[in-house]
A and B are shown apart, each in its own frame.
Chain A
Amino acid sequence: MNSRIAFVAFNTFREAVRDRVLYNLIAFALLLSAAAILVGQISIDVERLVVLNLGLTAVSLFGVVIAIFIGIGLVSKEIDKKTLYTVLSRPLRRWEFVVGKFLGLTGTLVVNTFFMALGVFLALLYVQRHFDRTDWGVAAALYFIVLQFLIVCALALFFSSFSTPIMSAVFTFAVFVIGSLADDLRGFAHNAAGIQGMVMTAAAYLVPNLSAFNIVNQAAHGDAVAGRLIVYNTLYALLYSVVVISGAVLVFERRNLK
């Protein structure tokens, strides 16, 4: 990787850590411990289902909230605080700055998810007393959640490259919700006709198909995850993120800093 991008990424990661972003892990640990102990007492044979559904959903939600709330400030905060002045007056290209920021935030989320994943597996061990082969599906679900974070970070960064933090948060959250319902949207588009159908089809393919990344139920039930889905989802997330980040770069390249 270009070393300047790595320096920006590391600084972004360090900022997130020092701004106590990883403190969310404490809340997550408390939530999961309480849930594991509680379901161990009240549920029979469904402990795994409850712990995994709760754990994986919490991993996803905590991560998406972090991705949105840090992502929307990645560029706009630097413009507002004018910290960019002394950065962009150095031999650093604007696209390198944007990519570095993106990688720094996704790096933060990967570290965050790693610790949450440890928590999920510990809770699973607590209720199951052992691991078996079906638990690989949990790892796949966690991997898909990380891929989902890539897309949400890219969207937050894109919106923040031209709008205010509040509007960026609204846009990103809206796209996240619509993207999570992308399968339904495609179903509606398929049934609609004429211009309405064309518009809905365009919208359905424009928003990220985040529902394809949600295999929480499948993992909780111990169903196997197809290798092909892992490959497709990886390629889709990478491609979608690259396109969105390219859009953010195009906008940011033309921006006048106030």
Chain B
Amino acid sequence: MAAIEILDLEKTYRVGFWHRRPKLALRPLRLTIDEGEVFGFLGPNGAGKTTTLKLLMGLAKPTAGSARILGMDIDDPRVRSHIGFLPEQPYFYDHLTASELLTYYAQLSGVPASARAARVAAMLESVGIRDSANVQLRKFSKGMLQRVGLAQAILHDPEVVFLDEPMSGLDPMGRREVRELIQQLRAEGKTVFFSTHILSDAEALCDRVAVIHQGELRGVGSVAELTQHSQGNVEIIFCAKTVPAALASLGVEARISSEMVNVVLPQEQQDALLDILRRERIRLISLTPVRSSLEEYYVEKLRPKPSSMGASA
């Protein structure tokens, strides 16, 4: 079953003094995210990631299109009991302590009164701010606020979790903890939809990613799919002290280090090289297709389309 179905969701804001000038924030977007999937929504700042999340959270009204979460329309208030949301650079009521804030959110989320205190304590513990539970949020650092943000997003044990730039403002240790949290959510069978522009995080965590730019979906698929249309090369590593002379006939370059030879060659020459290795009884270490990185894919997708060159953003 699809956890999130985005059906041609579109948003145009009206700007200017009289709110007459249209500004396209999101072109019709169609996406389906399966239950239990960790989905990365990639794009540069201003690409339309936050707009999409706001539309899904009901914080902004779509100009056209619709979306369903767990089969329920996003306008259906019941859906909000099943989702958690961490906004980008979250702000909270700073007159409250971390514990009070989470209790308030637990109340609004319908967590039963009998379970609230235990749930809040567990969340504070899981994001590592138990010792600051009774400190007002106005005294929290940015990283600590981000942890509070994560805690409030998963406080009511939602099935679908939306995270807008969850690594933003975190130090390396904090980023690692967020990665672990996302992996834990995946292990619990939750669906995670997170936006980011940190590609290494997406590559490490996501089952699938989508790239959005200038309000338009530019590509979607698993990391492996998106990076497999490489240059069509393979990398072959084998044990040898010298480069076999027969390799010269293939016209490929080889690098030697620590009695291992590394050769990158076109896929169609792969069998010829393997024949040479078999003939000369050389031990093969590995054979790997050379993939372009997610970064290369991302950069390629962000390039202006020839047809849209010169068009306004």
Enumerate chain A residues within 8 angstroms of B152, measured Cβ to Cβ.
Answer: 86
Chain B minimum-CB-distance residue to A19: B95
Report Cα–Cα, A62/B133, bound state, in Å.
35
A15–B54 touching, CB < 8 Å: no
B58–A89 touching, CB < 8 Å: yes
A86–B92 touching, CB < 8 Å: yes
- Decide if A214 is an interface residue (CB 8 Å cutoff): no
Query: In the assembled complex, how far is the CB of residue A14 from the closest CB belonging to chain B, in whole angstroms?
Result: 7
Number of interface residues of B (CB under 8 A): 31
B109–A91 touching, CB < 8 Å: yes
Residues 150-174 of B contacting A (Cβ, < 8 Å)? 152, 156
- Decide if A257 is an interface residue (CB 8 Å cutoff): yes
The 7 tightest CB contacts between A and B, nearest first, are: A89-B85, A256-B60, A18-B95, A85-B87, A91-B80, A257-B59, A7-B107
Q: Which of B54, B86, B104 has the most CB of A within 10 A?
A: B104
Q: Which of B86, B93, B109 has the most CB of A within 10 A?
A: B93
- Find B108's partner among A4, A82, A256 (CB 8 Å cutoff): A4
Chain A minimum-CB-distance residue to B92: A83
Chain B minimum-CB-distance residue to A254: B61
Report Cα–Cα, A109/B55, bound state, in Å.
36
A89–B61 touching, CB < 8 Å: no
B91–A81 touching, CB < 8 Å: yes
Given contacts A7-B104, A91-B110, 19 further A-B contacts (CB under 8 A): A3-B107, A11-B93, A15-B93, A82-B89, A85-B85, A85-B90, A86-B90, A86-B152, A88-B58, A89-B58, A89-B59, A90-B80, A90-B81, A91-B80, A91-B109, A256-B54, A256-B61, A257-B54, A257-B60
- Decide if A93 is an interface residue (CB 8 Å cutoff): yes
- Interface residues as binary, B99-143 with A (CB distance below 8 Å gives 1, 0 otherwise): 000001101111000000000000000000000000000000000
- Find B91's partner among A14, A19, A83 (CB 8 Å cutoff): A83
Enumerate chain A residues within 8 angstroms of B87, measured Cβ to Cβ.
Answer: 82, 85-86
Residues 56-91 of B contacting A (Cβ, < 8 Å)? 57-61, 77-78, 80-81, 83, 85-87, 89-91
Chain B minimum-CB-distance residue to A79: B59
Report Cα–Cα, A19/B138, bound state, in Å.
12
Taking beta carbons and an 8 Å cutoff, which residues of A are in contact with B? 3-4, 7-8, 11, 14-15, 18-19, 81-93, 254, 256-257
Enumerate chain B residues within 8 angstroms of A91, measured Cβ to Cβ.
Answer: 77-78, 80-81, 108-110
> Would you give 22 A-B contacts (Cβ < 8 Å), ordered by A?
A4-B108, A8-B108, A15-B95, A81-B91, A82-B87, A82-B91, A85-B87, A85-B91, A86-B105, A88-B59, A89-B57, A89-B80, A89-B83, A90-B81, A91-B77, A91-B80, A91-B81, A91-B108, A91-B110, A92-B80, A257-B54, A257-B59
